[in-house]
Structure 1
């Protein structure tokens, strides 16, 4: 696996990272999203401390991730129920 050294700037600090080349684009994209969120929090809520803005970003990102996990779990359950129903229909038609 090829690794590349990149630097992400978040909340006024530089973070040098060694990342797999395949993940570089994603990390840079997420870094930009975090920077955008920080600016939005600073402007919308008059946040002056970067630590507070970062904490709010972490909370928002974690909440979004948890909601996505719960939605995926519900979708998996719904798909499994549909497959069971279809199997039952196919079994009943074969009799």
Structure 2
């Protein structure tokens, strides 16, 4: 198999996990981004409670994900409309 046992550290706690070799870089980067956001919130708001910090980071990540999904929906709709227009043009030219 191509599973890899790794440990990631989030908020000063280590978490062992098994990940696919192809996902290792993404998982480590996600851990790094989470820790950077934790540090930013700690410094920006003076919050030391890790549960509060993790909740804020989770909320921030979900808002970002929702915004990205909305963007993808707009892109998907635009692509669908363009493909439909092209199909219509091709159909007319064949007739």
Fold equivalence (TM over 0.5): yes
Provide Cα deviations, 1:67-94, integer angstroms capped at 9, x if missing partner.
1111111111111111111222222233
Kindly report the root-mean-square deviation, in angstroms, between the aligned alpha carbons of the 2 structures: 1.1
Distance 1:43 1:76 in 2: 38
- Unaligned 5+ runs, structure 1: none
Equivalent residue number for residue 2 of structure 1? 2
- Unaligned 5+ runs, structure 2: none
Runs of 4+ in structure 1 deviating by more than 6 angstroms, as ranges, are none
Provide Cα deviations, 1:26-71, integer angstroms capped at 9, x if missing partner.
1111100000000000001111111111111101111111111111
Asked if 1:39 is matched to 2:33, the reply is no
Equivalent residue number for residue 13 of structure 1? 13
TM-score by structure 1 length?
0.92
